[in-house]
Structure 1
Amino acid sequence: MTRTRRAHRRRWPFVIGGIVVAVGILAVVAIPLASAQLLLTPHHSLTTAAGSVQSVGEGEITLSRTDAGARAGTYGLTWSTDDGPSGEAVVGPVLRSDETSITRVFAPTDGTPPVGAKVSLNPNMWTGDPATALGLEFEDVEVAGELGAMPAWFVPGDGDTWVLFVHGIDGLRQSGLRPLTTIAEKKLPTLLITYRNDVGAPPSPNGLFSLGEREWRDLEAAADFALAQGAEKFVLYGDSMGGSIVTRFMHESPHAERVVGMVLDAPVLDWSAVIAGQADRLHLGWFTPLVQAVVQWRGDLSLSTLDELDQTEVFDRMPVLLFQGLADPLVPHVDSEGFARSLPDAQYVPVPGAGHIQSWNVDPEGYAQHLATFLAPFAPSAAP
Structure 2
Amino acid sequence: MKSLRHAVAIAVPAVIAAGAAVAFAVFATARRVVTPTARLNDVEILAVDTGAQTIELTRTPDTELPGRYGLFTTGTYGYVKLGAVLSADARTVRRKLLTQVEPGANVDRAAAFSGWYYVTPSELHLPWESVLIGSPAGPCPAWLFPAESSTWVIQVHGRGTTRSECLRAVPVLHALGLPNLVVSYRNDGEAPRSRGGVYALGASEWHDVDAAIGYALRHGAERVVLMGWSMGGALVLQTAVSSVHRDVIAAVILDSPVVDWRTVLRFQAREAGLREPLPALAMGALENSVTARLSGAEGAIPFDQLDMVARASELDAPVLILHSEDDGFVPADASHALAAVRPDLVTMPSFTVARHTKIWNYDETGWTTAIADWLRAQGIVDDGV
How many residue pairs get aligned? The number is 370
Alignment of 1:273-292 (within 5 A): 273-281=263-271, 282-292=273-283
From 78, 90, 98, the equivalent of 1:87 is: 78
Instruction: Please name the residue that 1:51 is paired with.
Output: 44
Instruction: Please name the residue that 2:21 is paired with.
Output: 27
List per-residue Cα deviations over 1:176-222 (Å, max 9, x = no partner). 11111101101101100111112231112221111111111111111
- Amino acid aligned to 1:75: Y
Quick one: structure 1 residues 215 and 111, their matched pair in 2 at CA, closer, same or farther if it must change by over 3 Å?
A: farther
Deviation at 1:320, TM superposition (A): 1.6
% identity of equivalent residues: 29
Moved over 4 A (4+): 13-20, 109-116, 377-383
CA distance in 2, matches of 1:110, 1:242: 33
CA distance in 2, matches of 1:101, 1:122: 17
TM-score, structure 1 as length reference: 0.88
Contact 1:220 1:255 in 2 (8 A): yes
CA distance in 1, matches of 2:261, 2:68: 28
Asked if 1:61 corresponds to 2:55, the answer is yes
Deviation at 1:21, TM superposition (A): 3.2
Q: Which moved more, 1:245-254 or 1:136-145?
A: 245-254
- Amino acid aligned to 2:249: V
Instruction: Please name the residue that 1:351 is paired with.
Output: 351
Alignment of 1:105-254 (within 5 A): 105-108=96-99, 114=106, 117-128=109-120, 130-131=121-122, 133-254=123-244
Contact 1:140 1:153 in 2 (8 A): yes
Q: Give the secondary-structure state (helix, strand or coil) at the position aligned to 1:294.
A: helix
CA distance in 2, matches of 1:207, 1:243: 20
CA distance in 1, matches of 2:200, 2:22: 23
Compare CA radii of gyration and give the structure with the larger one.
1
TM-score, structure 2 as length reference: 0.88
Asked if 1:295 corresponds to 2:286, the answer is yes
List per-residue Cα deviations over 1:114-135 (Å, max 9, x = no partner). 466322211111222x22x211
- Amino acid aligned to 2:46: V
Contact 2:54 2:94 in 1 (8 A): yes
Q: Which moved more, 1:275-284 or 1:192-201?
A: 275-284
Deviation at 1:23, TM superposition (A): 4.5
* Runs of 5+ consecutive residues of structure 2 not aligned to the other structure: none
Name the Cα RMSD after superposition: 2.6
CA distance in 2, matches of 1:243, 1:109: 34
Alignment of 1:326-365 (within 5 A): 326-343=325-342, 344-365=344-365
List per-residue Cα deviations over 1:139-188 (Å, max 9, x = no partner). 10000111211100000011211101011111211111111110110110
Deviation at 1:93, TM superposition (A): 3.5
List per-residue Cα deviations over 1:223-248 (Å, max 9, x = no partner). 11111101110111001111111111
Q: Give the secondary-structure state (helix, strand or coil) at the position aligned to 1:121.
A: strand
Q: Give the secondary-structure state (helix, strand or coil) at the position aligned to 1:191.
A: strand
Instruction: Please name the residue that 2:69 is paired with.
Output: 75
Deviation at 1:22, TM superposition (A): 4.4
Instruction: Please name the residue that 1:99 is paired with.
Output: 90
Contact 2:231 2:258 in 1 (8 A): yes
Asked if 1:42 corresponds to 2:36, the answer is yes
Quick one: structure 1 residues 110 and 158, their matched pair in 2 at CA, closer, same or farther if it must change by over 3 Å?
A: farther
Contact 2:77 2:107 in 1 (8 A): no
Q: Give the secondary-structure state (helix, strand or coil) at the position aligned to 1:325.
A: coil
Deviation at 1:337, TM superposition (A): 1.2
Contact 1:53 1:115 in 2 (8 A): no
Q: Give the secondary-structure state (helix, strand or coil) at the position aligned to 1:208.
A: coil
